[in-house]
Amino acid sequence: MFNNQRYLTKGVQSEIPIELQIFMWECVYRMPEPKDYFQVFKMESLNGIQKITHFSEQPAYHMEYLIPTEYPITTKVYIIDSDKYSTMLLASEY
């Protein structure tokens, strides 16, 4: 899972810095097997720090990251695997 062609939507491309896009792909790549096809990243601003909560339902997975950044953002991002390709999109684009 998630070892296929990767795509992202225009919303992700315009709102999420490339460093955070790469970070989220790496989070999915490094998580233990088995992996849920539907990964969720909740992004929040925490006193000038980017807080990213990564979770999935089946199997249950939860990890939190704190990343120093000048411009933290607040949004929710999904990464969905369809066997043929994986797509990163904003929750609002789902």
What pLDDT does 11 receive? 98
What pLDDT does 1 receive? 86
Give the Cα separation of 23 and 29 in Å (integer): 10
Give the Cα separation of 49 and 45 in Å (integer): 6
Question: Residue ranges of the alpha helices (H) in 1-94?
Answer: 10-15, 18-30
Where do the domains of the chain lie?
Answer: 5-93
CA angle 58-59-61, nearest 5°? 110
- pLDDT averages per 10-residue partition of the chain, 94 residues: 94 96 97 96 95 97 95 97 96 96
What pLDDT does 28 receive? 97
CATH superfamily of 5-93: enterococcus faecalis protein (3.10.450.150)
Given the structure tokens 């601003």, which residue do they identify?
A: 45
